[in-house]
Amino acid sequence: MSVPTELPAVRTGSEGISLSPIKEMELRASRIPGVISLAQGIPSFDTPEVIVRRAIAALKEGRASKYSLVTGLPQLRESIEQHLAKSGIFYDFEEEILVTVGAIEAITATLLAVLVPGDEVLLPNPCYASYQEAVRIAHGQPIWVPLDEAHGWALDIERLEAACSKKTKAIILTNPNNPTGTTYSRENLLAVAALAVRHNLFILSDEVYKDITFDHPYPTLAQERQFRNRFIYVFSFSKSYAMTGWRIGFLAAEKSLVHEIRKVHDALVTCAPVISQYAALAALELAGSDIAAYCRAYQQRRDTLCQRMAEMGECFTFAMPVAAYYLFPKICVPHESSRVFAIDLLEKAHVAVVAGSAFGPAGEGHIRICFARNTEDIEEGMRRIKKYMERK
């Protein structure tokens, strides 16, 4: 009996899903010696020592070697409940909080739980690049709706309303916004919530940059209890606490929603890494002063970056970011596309940035520059960009 030599085709399951353009740029940059990367949003800081010590203690004491409950360590969920309550956000740790493998797992698990094939999800954009792929993984259809750039990248309620159909199931918000570095006003958010009620939509709110604001507090719909039956709050420890490698986050929602999402979460990951859960517990209990120090540093770096951008005259226009750690300047010189511009900048100036088109159609014509990197890299990267622009 002959044995077939051909392998099964690898296609159907991942068809239509692309690698994040952010990761694509980092892969390109990794092949070029001496590149300054201002692309991926990785803090330059190490995880605070107090978090590391607590994690090591958990390892040595044998507390991190076995699965946790699927929902996460009870003591971590209780700490999350208490932490949220300080901001006027109230969820029950036993039924309404789920510890996840970062924010994107929380979002993907939620979409898999609430969508049926063909459902549409509104993506006000520019927005985080991986949302569209998470929607497609859940067999949904991403629907791009442009933010209002002329009014500080505000949510455009009329355009959102026009984009709604009988198939629309959810809307994903990034607040504070990645890549624009802006926040939404309370009035803007309440208008979106009213739209969600009219069209019976879920609201997924990705608030991973909530702790990185510069003298500009941001409102959140999580504080508006009248919408909690359709609202999913998502947070990651990656940015606030310099813990991108730990892959830990959580979501909070009304208990019937969490009960559905946790079934998908269980099928995907069983539970979040237990060592990372102990690290997250330490972060909430002990690392508040580290967040404050990081914010001060990011604000100084933002100011340095904006000063260097301003020195390039009319090559770019930009608005000073009030949150997160990204600048989203508009390219004001002739260019084929933001992707071509970013690749040419990488190959000729050895500086990695992210094309604005990575964040949706409304991002075309812009680039995203991350100022979470150290000041020396920012200064050198901007020197190279300035020299590149002078040649153009």
pLDDT value of position 152: 95
pLDDT value of position 313: 87
Q: Indicate whether 10 belongs to any domain.
A: no
Residues 314-337 have pLDDT tens digits of: 999 999 999 999 999 999 999 999
Domain closes at, from 251, 286, 321: 286
Average pLDDT on 65-87 reads 98
Q: Is the pLDDT score of 87 beyond 70?
A: yes
> What stretch of H or E contains 237?
helix 237-240
231 and 305 together in one domain? no
Cα–Cα distance measured from residue 253 to residue 92, given in angstroms and rounded to the nearest whole number: 9
Of residues 383 and 391, the one with the higher pLDDT is 383
213 and 82 together in one domain? yes
Domain closes at, from 286, 309, 341: 286
Average pLDDT on 147-158 reads 97
Q: Under 8 Å CB-to-CB from 176, ≥6 apart: which residues?
A: 182, 183, 207, 209, 210, 212, 213, 218, 322, 323, 324
Q: Indicate whether 7 belongs to any domain.
A: no
Q: Is the pLDDT score of 2 beyond 70?
A: no
pLDDT value of position 107: 98
Complete DSSP assignment for 12-34: GGGTT----HHHHHHHHHHTSTT
275 and 315 together in one domain? no
Q: Roughly what angle, to the nearest 10 degrees, separates helices 338-349 and 21-30?
A: 20
Residues 271-297 have pLDDT tens digits of: 999 999 999 999 999 999 999 999 999
What's the CATH number where 385 sits? 3.90.1150.10
pLDDT value of position 7: 58
Q: Is the pLDDT score of 14 beyond 80?
A: no
92 and 221 together in one domain? yes
Residues 193-210 have pLDDT tens digits of: 999 999 999 999 999 999
Give ∠ CA 248-265-53 in degrees, rounded to 5. Answer: 25
Residues 241-268 have pLDDT tens digits of: 999 999 999 999 999 999 999 999 999 9
298 within 8 A of 78, measured Cβ to Cβ = no
User: Across the chain, where does the E strand assignment appear?
Assistant: 36-37, 97-100, 120-125, 141-146, 168-174, 202-206, 231-236, 249-253, 316-317, 326-327, 330-331, 351-352, 354-355, 367-370
234 and 375 together in one domain? no
> In the numeric block, which tokens belong to residue 221?
């719909």
Average pLDDT on 153-170 reads 98
329 and 356 together in one domain? yes
Adjacent-strand bridge partners of 353: none
**pLDDT band, residue 26 (cuts 50/70/90):** very high
Of residues 3 and 141, the one with the higher pLDDT is 141
333 within 8 A of 344, measured Cβ to Cβ = no
25 and 170 together in one domain? no
Q: Is the pLDDT score of 1 beyond 70?
A: no
Domain closes at, from 286, 319, 334: 286
Q: Is the pLDDT score of 381 beyond 80?
A: yes
Q: Is the pLDDT score of 6 beyond 80?
A: no
> In the numeric block, which tokens belong to residue 143?
């629907």
Cα–Cα distance measured from residue 331 to residue 241, given in angstroms and rounded to the nearest whole number: 32
Count of domains for the chain: 2
Q: Indicate whether 206 belongs to any domain.
A: yes
Cα–Cα distance measured from residue 58 to residue 63, given in angstroms and rounded to the nearest whole number: 5
Average pLDDT on 378-387 reads 98
Q: Indicate whether 137 belongs to any domain.
A: yes
266 and 368 together in one domain? no
Owning domain of residue 380 = 18-47+289-391
**pLDDT band, residue 10 (cuts 50/70/90):** low
329 and 364 together in one domain? yes
141 and 34 together in one domain? no
The residue count for the chain = 392
Residue 161 neighbours by CB distance under 10 Å: 13
Q: Indicate whether 2 belongs to any domain.
A: no
192 and 318 together in one domain? no
Q: Is the pLDDT score of 11 beyond 60?
A: no
Of residues 313 and 288, the one with the higher pLDDT is 288
Q: Under 8 Å CB-to-CB from 107, ≥6 apart: which residues?
A: 131, 134, 172, 204, 206, 234
Cα–Cα distance measured from residue 248 to residue 236, given in angstroms and rounded to the nearest whole number: 6
The type of residue at 301 is: R
344 and 278 together in one domain? no
Return the closest-CA partner of residue 224 out of 194, 245, 257.
194
Q: Indicate whether 12 belongs to any domain.
A: no
What's the CATH number where 220 sits? 3.40.640.10
Mean pLDDT, rounded, of the chain: 95
Average pLDDT on 183-198 reads 97
